[in-house]
Structure 1
Amino acid sequence: MDSDSDSSDSGHAGVGLSDPTIAKGRRAMLDLVNRLSSTGVQLDIDLPRIAVIGNQSAGKSSLIESISGVSLPRASGTCTRCPTECRLSRSSAPWRCTVELRFITDKNGTPLGQARTEPFGPPVSDKSDVEERIRRAQRAILNPSKLASTFLADDLDDGEHDANELAFSTNFISLAISGPDLADLSFVDLPGLIASSRGAGGSDREIKMVEGLVESYISKPSCVILLTVACETDFENQGAHHLTKKHDPEGKRTVGVLTKPDRIPTGEEDNWLPLIRNEVEPLENNWFCVKQPSSADLKEGITWAEARERENDFFSLTGPWATLDAMYHRYLRTPNLVDRLSAILSDLISKRLPEIHLELENALQQAKSGLSQLPPPPATDPVSQVAAMLSAFAQDIEKMVDGVPRVEGLIQRIRPAQQTFRKTIQSTVPNFCPLEGSTKADVAEDFLQSTKDDDEVAAGEMIYVDAVAEKADNLNSARARELPGHHPFFVQVTYIQEFTAKWDAPAHLLCRTVSRILGEQLRGLVSEHFSAFGQGLLAQRITMLLHQHLQQRTEAAHALVAKLIDLEMPAPLTLNDHYLSDYRTKYLARYRAAREKATNRKFATQLQNHRPYEDDGYSSPTTIDEILGKFASMGLSGLKAEDFAKLLPQDRMAPALEIMADVRAYFQVAYKRITDNVPLAIDYELVRGVGRDLLPLLYTNLGVGGKEGERICRELAQESPNVANRREELTKRIERLENAAKELVTIEM
């Protein structure tokens, strides 16, 4: 290339995209994408652009040079080892090129949450200096552990070219080129696809890396694929074409470019003409063929005007290109290709505008929603902020222990455990049977089913009346001042102690269960209030304090529960005489009736089924009615059928029945008392106890109210790095999207 800037400018003026006769509407479309790209919004939405791909040494760089008017670095082997973005913009100011480094991954290849742009030297005003600046910028990209400014030094050792840290990189060079003879356009020159891992090509890892990089661009629907195919290599061996078919199988957004037609082996020229005629591997935007100056031509200082003139002569005078029908000559020569690219890209932008509007709105809404879901940023007054957070936390604890109308609330989660405790205590009811143990099992079972309360579920073995009598007789030697025939009260106490001894384990199990549920609820509230604050330190310290506090309240609850159980153990006691007497009468009647039915079944059945005789014919006289009539004739009038029960001999098990009724009635009193008092004690000492005086406890143990309070609060109020990074990322995204939205509003069609 000519080193003289002016001659280069004049040689490149008026070619293709630089043609000042391009329609104003097309320029507006291309300019819009360039302005949108300058906002960085391509990180969020799919912007239309051109990606130049091809195999190694397929002539991509030469094609880029002919479009941009600047020379790219040339060397043996792979020339492009990282993407090079060219952003052309028309300007009335003098020609200039700004070089920037765009980092999307760190030095270890890990994607960055936010792309980083770093200027690489001052703007270039002489085209002849661009090639060297790009060469140095690529060195900086391939050596991420070193400062980029190192590679701007004038004494950079050229011998270090083979000592790069990376063979390829997804980070890229961005060239912002502006001048009076340029159109607004963006395109990316991607590293050439490596055909083999042998020799100078690269390793298998590098092959996959380059393929992945290329695919990350051409897989996007708004990417126009500029596919370069060198005519000096068999078409079937062009890996770039196979990759293009994968992402654009119908060829709707691919433009094919045949390069190096002057290197086609003699006699094989006709093999390439079917592509130009779109007869094989057809593309919607057709195949083109261009001829760029060779390395030798560039070393001789050929101008771009001379290069275009030689290209025109080649296609006009060299067969078989010169013999093609006139209609196919529009697919030959660089100016025709560049003009077609301009039209394709501007049409694509025009079609994509409504979609871009919608995508921007959706992306902006999502970003703002994500930002609103983050905790508020740290306040300038950390003492007040921490105090407010602790106060709000204590208030939520108070609401939680008071109860909230939510299925997963604390009280709602505790209630099943309380019901289980009640049923467990209830199941310890003495399983008394007023029949002897020799009674048939089905008769005894009939009694239990007919006499038990609806909510009774006795879990113990059946206690027969003769066993009760035997136990009373065995303990009769302990009779003190009781009259003969009366058993000592110690018999009832023994049975009562048997069931109260079973209450300790379920009571403490309820306490442990409530403590576990309460701990889970507390940890949830701590996370909700403090997880995104103080880099986790505040949440950690509060969790430890609450764990200790919960342990103390749990121990206090266990102690109170143990005291309540102990109160039931020594001897029975109740002042609820009426309640106890009612239950004693109820159960004694049940037991006596069952025995009468079992021992005098026929007589008891007669009494049970007896209905007084009525003269109206609705009932017939029974034996009992006849007997009552005979007694009346003897002068014993006024007797009733139920009076016959008094004729039965006295039950020898009557004392045992009274013991059973006493014990069963007292169980009812004590069971209801303990199933209320134990949950009440746990609620007072543990559930509500956790919330009592919580705020002073937190203030004291965190130290926020002491002399070091300000320092501690400032330390605790530091925002989590993850949250801070996320906030910064969303804030930058919102800024990008809003700037892009403003550009869309200001477009002039």
Structure 2
Amino acid sequence: MSSDESNSSDDASTSGRDRDQGIGLSNPALSQSSRRMLDLINRLHATGVQVDIDLPQIAVIGSQSAGKSSLIESISGITLPRAAGTCTRSTEPWKCSVFLRILESGKMQSEKFGDVITDRSFVEERIKRAQWAILNPTVRNAKGVTHFLAGDDHGSSLELSFSKNYVSLQISGPDVADLSFCDLPGLIAGVGMGGDKNDIDLVKELVASYIKRPSCIILLTVACETDFQNQGAQEMAKTYDPQCKRTIGVLTKPDRIPTGEEPNWISLIRNEKEALDNGWYCVKQPSSAQINAGMTWAGARKSEDVFFASTPAWSELDSMYQKYLRTGNLVERLSIILSDLISKRLPEIQEEIERVIASTREALKNLPKPPSADPRNEIAELVYQFVRDVYKHVEGVPQKDGLLQTIRPAQEKFRRAVRSTAPDFQPYERRFRNTKTIGKAKFLEDEEGHEDFDVSDSESDSDSDSRFTPGVVYSVVPTGKEIYIDEVFRSANEARTRELPGNYPFVVQRNLIQSVVKEWRAPAQLLGQSVYRVLVERVMSLVHDTFGEFGQGQLEQRVKRVVLVQDHVSKCMDRTEERIDRLLNLEDLPFTLNTHYFCDYKEKFLIHYRSARERDRHSQLVQAIQAYSDSKNVVPPVSYGLNRGTPDQPTGVAKVLSGLAEIGVHGIKPEVLVKLMEPDGMEPALLIMADVRAYFQVAYKRFVDNVPLVIDYELMWGSERGVLQWLNTGLGINGPDGNRICQELAQESPTVAARRDDLTKKLARMQFAAQQLLQIGF
């Protein structure tokens, strides 16, 4: 178990003279500059910022039984089995507070362990009980720390041998030293019967977590009673301080060196082997028997002086090496090294503190807003904000991913799908289905563009350039949607009842129109579903953006249920589908008052179908008419016709038109000459085909406008129109239980609350630390 330790005064038996002089680093003989630096770092430690930034401290490491605890006692003046803490100088009476530092979810939590101690003699017992609590986490979580404070069986059973959690001491008083350091567990070479091999790695990881920090001074403790090479702490120190710039070596138990082996240890003091930048020191601490007999801190120092002054191996060292002997010299050196490190690190510490403050503020800013003191009004404001956002998107936003921009491709796909249901009338008999097909109508290409014609409605480039092309044999593949003239004619004859000869019932046109209209249902429904999906996705996105950060997300989920599960948008979709069905039912009954467009289209389609059939039946005449039309503006005139005559006499089509002019018939267009040919009896079918195809042009254009209008009015605007009422009713925030409901909805997620609390405390720590630096001019 690791522990941070602060120097303190000696125990209650220390003489008044000893206390006046100060114990260890509390000695007033230390330089004022060192004292100033140590005071500052202790104030920073007192703020708790060491959990956030790298503050200078001393870590005491060594193998088990290397004398670490005795060394700490000689510096601090109190008996510590394992200890931890931070201290500050004070003019108040001596006091000590004990805390448990528990690492949970990657964050170090602090829990006070018992009341403040004002008698030094109680410290050791309190620390033992705190260690017991640390090493029994299950019992601690179940029974709390009071169990360990009041129990009398501490240490009898332990769940853990070691822990990354630790005991922290905060000691203050007029004669307390200004030093922060850690007493780390001894490195283990092996475990005995019943031991846990994982403890070896755990201790190594724990020691490494401290000494790897650039601001950590490594106090390497080596016992002289054990062979140097068998003590693994030195090797570990080298791993994390390979240049040996922040390691100080301390030899302990020099009275236990086997006779004749003193030179091996003296060579370390002389820095002749295992050299360290800060050198090696040797201290002599009282034995267990002397401590039990009540030896004071001052007595221990006197005994240490006698040992080094009377033991030849040490007393005979040159004066330049005498400063590396005794606890007092070590303490003085530690003070200088630590204060120098603090002075060097202060600018970096200030930068780190400023950087952490900025990042902590940003992290707090990114958290959801804290719970409102008036959740009812806040929820009402969010509801109105959501309604405004829905209105804005339904009305349209000038953005590429706007709601209207997103549904536009579906609308265009719908228009094309309805346009593709145009009846594919062929003015040829079905027996010619593999050899003949009509070209697309030129006037439709000019009116609606090439993109509206699929392969089945197109012809070769040579056909698209003129209205009259000689009948040719095409290589065609029927699509199965063609309606041939003989089929139309047969249906017309089969439908006749009491009509006079040459007349046919309107039911023929109606049946053909109805067969087309029924194909409009699928694309219309698909458009409605497509817009519904886009709208729902956009509304859900707005719900998340508006309500997602409120409370624990219950408000967002409830709004989604009100908007969707409780069927506001769904009901709008139901009304939309009903209106679309009504439009389809209306289109099932052919009707139009758009007489001009209908008649215009009928005439154009009749000419289109009739011309195609005539140029197939009278290809030679049609070719002559086409040749005449292409060349009539050529100068000098050239005659074209069935028989070529002299240049001075018109022939062919020109001769016919000239003859008509001679008898007073002027202004005859050459293509009218085709009407002089005997009809083939299919004229009624051509009229029916022209009727249906013309009506389609009128009906499909209004339909592809009306369906999107219905969807826009009933679904999109309908969703916006009623959403406020639905939310107010569904959420219940305006009802008698409104306050209770709003309080429940405003409850913050424990995770977010804990995160905010951690960040707030962290920010307070860092800001207080920044103030401490400002007070001394950094």
Same fold (TM over 0.5): yes
- TM superposition shift of 1:203: 1.5
1:147 is the counterpart of 2:172: no
Equivalence for 1:723: 752
Structure 1 match to 2:599: 581
1:86 match: 85
Distance 1:134 1:222 in 2: 27
Contact 1:476/1:488 (8 A) holds in 2 = no
1:567 has 2:586 as partner: yes
Residues 1:17 and 1:391: Cα distance change in structure 2 (over 3 Å)? same
Indicate the residue corresponding to 2:34 in structure 1.
26
**CA drift at 1:225:** 2.7
Task: State the Cα deviation string for residues 73-101 of structure 1 (Å, max 9, x = none).
Answer: 2xxxxxx4xxx33324334444x241221
1:733 paired with 2:762, answer yes
**Paired residue for 1:456, among 452, 456, 459?**
452
Instruction: Give the counterpart letter for 2:84 in structure 1.
Output: E
Deviation per CA, 1:89-120: give whole Å up to 9, x if none. Answer: 334444x2412213333xxxx33757334153
Taking the TM superposition and a 5 Å limit, the aligned residue runs for 1:247-286 are 247-265=240-258, 268-272=261-265, 275-276=268-269, 278=271, 282-286=275-279
Taking structure 1 as reference, are residues 255 and 585 closer, same or farther at Cα in structure 2, changes over 3 Å only? farther
Q: 1:745 Cα shift?
A: 0.7
Alignment match, 1:627:
652
Asked if the contact 1:436–1:464 (Cα under 8 Å) also holds between the matched residues in 2, the reply is no
2:719 maps to 690
Counterpart Cα distance in 2 of 1:30 and 1:445: 101
**Which residue of the partner structure matches residue 417 of structure 1?**
410
Aligned-residue offset at 1:135: 1.5
Q: 2:332 aligns with which of 317, 336, 339?
A: 339
Q: Assess if the C-alpha contact under 8 Å between 2:89 and 2:174 holds in 1.
A: yes
Residue type at the aligned position of 2:210: Y
The 5 Å alignment of 1:219-368 reads 219-265=212-258, 268-272=261-265, 275-276=268-269, 278=271, 282-312=275-305, 314-315=307-308, 318=311, 327-368=320-361
Greater mean alpha carbon deviation, residues 437-446 or residues 690-699: 437-446
2:101 to 99, 103, 106: 103
Aligned mates of 1:418, 1:634 — CA distance in 2? 57
Contact in 2 for aligned 1:398/1:691 (Cα 8 Å): yes
Give 1:438 deviation, angstroms: 5.0
Q: Where in structure 2 are the equivalents of 1:525-544 lying within 5 Å?
A: 525-544=542-561
In the alignment, is residue 511 of structure 1 matched against residue 528 of structure 2?
yes
Counterpart of 1:721 in structure 2: which amino acid? P
TM-score, with structure 1 as normaliser: 0.86
| Structure 1 counterpart of 2:155, from 157, 161, 170 | 161
CA deviations over 1:562-593 (Å, ceiling 9, x no partner):
22222223x32222222223333333333344
Q: Which residue of 2 aligns with 1:393?
A: 386
**In the aligned structure 1, how far is the partner of 2:441 from the partner of 2:319?**
110
Cα offsets for 1:444-486 (capped at 9, x unmatched): 3865999765232559864687734224314422124544344
Aligned 8 A contact 1:103 1:117 in 2? yes
Tell me the distance in 2 between the aligned counterparts of 1:254 and 1:220. Answer: 12
Amino acid paired to 1:185: L
Distance 2:274 2:428 in 1: 101
For 2:696, give the aligned amino acid: F
Give secondary structure in 2 for the equivalent of 1:56: coil
CA distance in 2, matches of 1:574, 1:523: 42
Deviation at 1:742, TM superposition (A): 1.0
Asked if structure 2 preserves the Cα contact closer than 8 Å seen for 1:34 and 1:186, the reply is yes
> What is the deviation of 1:727?
2.8
Whether the 8 Å CA contact 2:61–2:183 is kept in 1: the answer is yes
Cα 1:477/1:358, change in 2 over 3 Å:
same
Distance 2:752 2:159 in 1: 33
Shift of 1:35: 1.0
How far 1:60 sits from its partner (Å)? 1.8
- Provide the C-alpha distance between the structure 2 equivalents of 1:597 and 1:281, rounded to a whole number of angstroms: 113
Distance 2:437 2:264 in 1: 106
Q: In the aligned structure 1, how far is the partner of 2:572 from the partner of 2:513?
A: 31
- State the one-letter code of the partner of 1:257: V
Distance in 2, matches of 1:668 and 1:635, equals 38
Paired residue secondary structure (1:591):
helix
Q: Deviations over 1:120-159 (max 9, x none)?
A: 322324x333222222222233342333344444xx42x4
Out of 363, 366, 377, the position equivalent to 1:373 is 366
Which of 29, 35, 43 aligns to 2:43? It is 35
1:433, 1:464 within 8 Å by CA — same for their partners in 2?
no
**Pair 1:701 & 2:699 matched:** no
Distance 1:2 1:366 in 2: 43
Deviation at 1:28, TM superposition (A): 1.8
- Point out the more displaced range, 678-687 or 277-286: 277-286
Distance 1:128 1:653, change over 3 A: same
Structure 1 residue 743 displacement after superposition: 0.8
Asked whether 1:497 is paired with 2:514, we answer: yes
> What residue identity is the alignment partner of 1:503?
W
1:311–1:685 CA distance, 2 compared to 1 (3 A)? same
Residues 676 and 256 of structure 1: CA distance in aligned 2, closer, same or farther (over 3 Å)? farther
CA contact (8 A) 1:11 1:305 kept: no
The superposition leaves residues 168-210 of structure 1 with CA deviations (integer Å, 9 ceiling, x where unpaired) of: 333322222334444422112223333334437x423444443
Of 52, 76, 91, the residue aligned with 1:44 is 52
> SS state of the match for residue 224, structure 1?
strand
Conserved? CA contact 1:275–1:281, under 8 Å: yes
Q: What is the rounded CA distance, in whole Å, between the counterparts of 1:615 and 1:713 in structure 2? A: 89
CA contact (8 A) 1:428 1:459 kept: no
CA distance in 2 between partners of 1:603 and 1:283 (Å): 117
Q: CA deviation at 1:746?
A: 0.3
Q: 1:650 is matched with which residue: 675, 679, 685? A: 679
Q: 1 CA distance for matches of 2:369 and 2:380? A: 15
Partner in structure 1 of residue 184 of structure 2: 190
Q: Larger deviation: 381-390 or 357-366? A: 381-390
Shift in CA distance, 451/531, structure 1 to aligned 2, threshold 3 Å: closer
Give the secondary-structure state (helix, strand or coil) at the position aligned to 2:437: helix
Name whichever of 684-693 and 441-450 sits farther off. 441-450
Local SS of the residue matching 1:502: helix
Q: CA RMSD in A?
A: 3.6
Residue 76 of structure 1 is matched in structure 2 by none
Give the alignment partner of residue 710 of structure 1, picking from 714, 723, 739.
739
The answer to whether the 8 Å contact 2:218/2:247 transfers is yes
2:271 & 2:499 partners in 1: Cα distance?
123
Contact 2:11 2:78 survives alignment (8 Å)? no
Unaligned runs of 5+ in 2: 1-8, 457-477, 643-649
Measure the CA separation in 2 of the matches of 1:512 and 1:614. 57
AA aligned opposite 2:183:
D
Identity between Structure 1 and Structure 2 (%): 48
SS of residue paired to 1:400: helix
CA 1:484/1:254 → structure 2, altered by over 3 Å: closer, same or farther?
farther
Moved more, 310-319 or 525-534: 310-319
Distance 2:10 2:349 in 1: 41
Matched, 1:554 2:573: yes
Output the CA distance in 1 between the equivalents of 2:699 and 2:483.
25
Alpha-carbon displacement from aligned partner over 1:318-375 (angstroms, at most 9, x marks no partner)? 5765666655554444333333322222222222222222222222222223333344
Aligned 8 A contact 1:534 1:717 in 2:
yes
Which amino acid in 1 is paired with 2:582? K
Structure 1: give runs of 5+ residues left out of the alignment. 74-79
Letter in structure 2 aligned against 1:173:
V
Indicate the SS of the match to 1:102.
strand
- Tell me the distance in 2 between the aligned counterparts of 1:429 and 1:59: 100
3-state secondary structure, aligned to 1:217: helix
Match of 1:53, SS? strand
Counterpart of 1:147, as a letter, is: G
Residue 465 of structure 1 contacts residue 653 of structure 1 at CA under 8 Å; is this kept in 2?
no
Change in Cα spacing, 1:483 to 1:220, as seen in structure 2 (3 Å) is farther
1:481-527 deviation digits (Å, cap 9, x = unpaired): 54434443333323322222222223223333333333333333333
